[in-house]
Structure formats: C-alpha cells, structure tokens
Structure 1
Amino acid sequence: MRTVFWAAFWVFLLDQVSKIVVVHLLDLRTLGEIDVLPPFVNLRMAWNSGINFGLFSGHSDAARMVLIAIALLIVGFVLVWVWRDPPGRTGRIAAGLLIGGALGNVLDRVLYGAVADFLNMSCCGIENPYAFNVADIAIFAGAFGLVLFPGSGSGKGSPKRKKGT
C-alpha cells in the first residue's frame, strides 16, 4: 500500500502545482489562451463542472457534491480492491495514479466549484476543442494500468485454494 500512497501523493502534488503555475502564476484564467508549441501543445483555460469532455455539466452545488461523492467512492473502491487483491508493483502504481488524479480533481471542485483544465493538443490539421489536466492523464493511465495489471488473485480477500486443486 506504500507504493499506492506515494504514487497518489506525487500525482496529486504534480497536478496541484501545475494548476497553480498555469492558472494562477501564468494567469491563464484571465488570458484564456497561451500558445506553447502551436498547434501541438497549447494552454486553453476551461472550467469543467462535469466529467470527461464536459459530460453531465451542471453548475448546481448538488451536481458538484454528487461528482465529489462519486470520485471519493471510486477512490475508496480502488483502495479496498488493491488491499484485498494486491496487484504487482505496476498495478499498485496504476492504482496510485488513479487515486491521486481523482483526489486532485476533487480538490478543484471543492476550491473552485469546477475542475481546472488547461492542456490542449492538436495535430495534423485537426483542432481539438477539449482541454484536460495532469489529473485527467493520471486517471486515464491508472485505469488503463489496472485493467492491464489487475490483482494476482492471491490477496487477503481471495478464497483459499485447497492443495491439489
């Protein structure tokens, strides 16, 4: 569980520091756009009150609290899953990525009422209208990693096998 904790901690810290630097110090919230390596990497301010790609956006406090509760439930579920059926090191890191990213976005919802998204990438004449953040990358990578590197089936919560079966 130590690996899960440290992976979550570093992702959470990187996410929050990146938001402080980009949104506040570079003042993206006022500027709205900063071209870094156009068209490949740009900073575009977007306040996401919903889930991925702005789905289920609602500006009500009730919707925000539901999304916070869902994220915390997912974090709890992943922690219990990893504790009961421990994956290998890569799976534990993946769990930490997912947890750290989820908690980073939860903190945004608590502090700002929405998630601060700012990374925008486009390529090859296709303009991407969506923005994301470090937490979103970690959540995606963590979920993907947990699919590829699930628990071993020999954890604390798995049934005991009889010898010879």
Structure 2
Amino acid sequence: MDKIKNLRWSILLLLLTLNFGCDQITKKVARTEIGEFEHISIIKNHFTLLKVENSGAFLSLGDEMPYLVRLIILTGFPLLLLGYGTYYLFARRNLAPGMQIALCFLIGGGIGNLYDRVMYGSVTDFMHMDFYIFQTGVFNFADISIMIGIGILFVLSIKGKVVKQVEHHSDEA
C-alpha cells in the first residue's frame, strides 16, 4: 500500500514539477533572449514572440489597482487557492486519474505565475497568436498549463454528464 502511495505522490510531484519547470525555463529564455519591444515572427504573423511584463492578472486585468489591493487579490488569494488545491490533490486518495492530471496542470501553472509575481513583481508573458478570426493576448506556458487543466476538467464534466444520462436512461428501461 505504501509503495502505491509513494508511486502516486512521485508521479504527481513529477507532473507538478514539469509544469512549473517548463514554464520557468521558457520565461528565463524569454527574459534573456527577447529584447524590450522586440517582435519575433515564428510562423509569419500568426505566432510571434514578444516579451511583456504583466503586473496585472489575465490580459493585464487589475494592472491599475493600488499595490496593496493587487498584492491581496493577485498574490494572497491565489496562494490560498494553490495551497488548498495542493492539499486536496495529495490528501484525496480516491481522485480519478483525469482529475489528478487536471489539478497538476492547474496547480503547476498557477505556481509558475505566482512565483513570477513574488520574485519579479510581474509575470513574464511572451507568446502571441493571431489567426485573423482568432487572436490571443500575450501569454506564457503557465497559462497554457492552466488552460489544459481547465480543458481536462471540462471534458471530464461533459463525460460525467453523458455517463449519468446513459445510466439514468438504462435504469428506466
């Protein structure tokens, strides 16, 4: 039983570390290799690199808030949520594997952005996509991790509703 618990914890720590590590490595490269106001085209103008230091939240929301309010909302609150999420991930033994993976992506990405905010006072964003009808803000790998985690939770939610509907209909038959 302890071997299974240790294996589970090791896999979860590996997933969290990979999410956080990939984010931090790419941000370090962006900070050192992309100059201020530099615009690097990767796939024509559809995928570009440009470094932006974001002191707000998603798409710079809250950037204009007073420092103390920003500190509480953008550092304190996420710290509490990430702490609880990490506790929940490791304390709940019966979580479905998909839920565990989703939480690793959410927590790993969240820790990556929170680390930047605490260490640098802002989050380094450096990727942008523009496909005419679809355009993103400037983002980073932590944001990708968070979106993957949300996507997994969304799929699990839909899958759960479909399974419940099938079970409900088979009970009626």
The equivalent residue for 1:87 is 95
Task: Indicate the structure (1 or 2) with the bigger Cα radius of gyration.
Answer: 2
* TM-score in terms of structure 2 length: 0.74
1:159 paired residue number:
none
Q: 1:39 aligns with which of 27, 34, 45?
A: 45
Residue matched to 1:146: 153
Alpha-carbon distance in structure 2 between the residues aligned to 1:49 and 1:115: 6
Structure 1, unmatched stretches of 5+, are: 151-165
2 CA distance for matches of 1:63 and 1:107?
18
More helix by proportion, 1 or 2?
2
Identity of aligned residues (%): 29
Question: RCO greater where, 1 or 2, for CA within 8 Å and sep 6 or more?
Answer: 1
RMSD (CA atoms): 2.2
Q: Decide which of 20, 38, 47 is 1:12's aligned counterpart.
A: 20
Residue 135 of structure 2: SS of its match in structure 1? coil
Please tell me whether the aligned partners of residues 126 and 139 of structure 2 are also in contact (alpha carbons under 8 angstroms): yes
- The alpha carbon displacement at 1:31 in A equals 4.1
Q: Is there any run of 5+ residues in structure 2 with no aligned partner, and where?
A: 1-8, 158-173
The letter for the 1-side match of 2:83 is G
Q: Tell me the residue number matched to 1:100.
A: 108
Match of 1:157 in 2: none
2-side partners of 1:22 and 1:8: how far apart?
21
Contact 2:62/2:70 (CA < 8 Å) preserved in 1? no
